């Protein structure tokens, strides 16, 4: 695991590094002390996890947070700016660790990397045409697997490519998104019908007219969600 620590106070950065090494002794750790350094470094050398402060020598760490959540990396915020915790969770961060913190609290945040009960993201950031674009999750109709990436199908008949895969996005999407197949996540309210086909195969028809397969092991759960809706 590669972990990037973005913290402008050297002593605090060293402490985070020490505690992180104790919690994840096999991890490769890199330190960044300002926003521009971190943006350039993470663009050149992608990481698995970003431990991010929000106040970086007067620069707003949310500029880096948006870039981080648009990538395949997971983000944990470590900050004294607790008034911005809810805003951070809206971007789908793994956890918000308020300063001051101890070893146990940091370990708990790192342990959340493997859990599915994440905060619900109301916005996703994607890289599109050389810039970061912010997408409200209400605009998303469906999400499809595209190799290691995910293709966001939007309500204006356009698509965007997200650097996170379906498994990572599934953890942070609102509850009205449902995984129907290893290659498809759909917005529940846009599903118009669930039908069976010969050979115990199933598919859904969307309000757009598109059809997608449904895995047999997911049919019961999908029926229940459609019934509840």
Looking up tokens 């290893």, which residue turns up? 182
Whether residue 100 is predicted with pLDDT greater than 70 in this model: the reply is yes
Whether residue 105 is predicted with pLDDT greater than 90 in this model: the reply is yes
**Same fold? 2-114, 123-228:** no
Q: Rounded distance, CA 101 to CA 97, Å?
A: 7
Whether residue 154 is predicted with pLDDT greater than 90 in this model: the reply is yes
Global confidence as pTM = 0.80
User: What average pLDDT does range 162-182 have in this prediction?
Assistant: 94
Whether residue 116 is predicted with pLDDT greater than 70 in this model: the reply is no
Q: Rounded distance, CA 57 to CA 38, Å?
A: 13
| Element spanning 212, H or E | strand 211-214
What is the CB-side half-sphere exposure of residue 40 using CA atoms within 13 A? Answer: 6
Q: Which pLDDT score is estimated for 117?
A: 61
**Count of all residues that appear for the chain in the document:** 229
Residue 164 is classified by DSSP as S
pLDDT digits (tens, 9 = 90+) for 45-70: 999 999 999 999 889 999 999 999 99
Q: Which pLDDT score is estimated for 155?
A: 94
What does CATH list as the number for 2-114?
3.40.50.2300
Whether residue 186 is predicted with pLDDT greater than 90 in this model: the reply is yes
Q: Rounded distance, CA 41 to CA 45, Å?
A: 6
User: What average pLDDT does range 127-144 have in this prediction?
Assistant: 94
pLDDT band at residue 228 using 50, 70 and 90 as cut-offs: confident
Domain boundaries along the sequence of the chain: 2-114, 123-228
Q: Which pLDDT score is estimated for 197?
A: 86
88 in Cβ contact with 96 (< 8 Å): yes
**CATH entry 2.40.50.1020 includes domain 123-228:** yes
Looking up tokens 């290691």, which residue turns up? 148
% pLDDT > 70, the chain: 98
203 in Cβ contact with 213 (< 8 Å): yes
State both tokens at 133. 């674009």
Q: Rounded distance, CA 34 to CA 225, Å?
A: 46
């Amino acid at each position: 695991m590669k972990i990037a620590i973005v913290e402008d106070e050297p002593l605090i950065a060293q402490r985070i590094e020490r505690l992180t090494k104790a919690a994840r002794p096999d991890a490769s750790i890199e330190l960044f002390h300002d926003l521009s350094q971190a943006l350039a470094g993470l663009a050149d050398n992608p990481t698995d996890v970003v431990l991010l402060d929000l106040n970086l020598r007067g620069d707003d760490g949310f500029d880096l947070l948006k870039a981080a959540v648009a990538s395949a990396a997971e983000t944990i915020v470590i900050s004294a700016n607790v008034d911005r915790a809810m805003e951070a969770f809206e971007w789908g961060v793994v956890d918000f660790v308020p300063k001051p913190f101890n070893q146990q609290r940091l370990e708990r945040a790192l342990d959340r990397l493997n859990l599915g009960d994440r905060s619900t993201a109301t916005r996703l950031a994607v890289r599109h045409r050389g810039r970061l674009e912010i997408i409200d999750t209400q605009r998303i109709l469906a999400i499809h697997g595209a190799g290691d990436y995910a293709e966001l199908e939007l309500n204006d008949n356009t698509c965007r490519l997200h650097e996170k895969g379906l498994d990572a996005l599934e953890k942070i999407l609102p509850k009205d998104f449902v995984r129907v197949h290893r290659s498809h996540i759909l917005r529940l309210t846009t599903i118009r019908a669930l039908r069976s086909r010969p050979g115990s195969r199933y598919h859904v028809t969307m309000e757009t007219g598109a059809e997608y397969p449904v895995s047999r092991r997911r049919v019961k759960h999908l029926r229940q969600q459609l019934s509840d809706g």
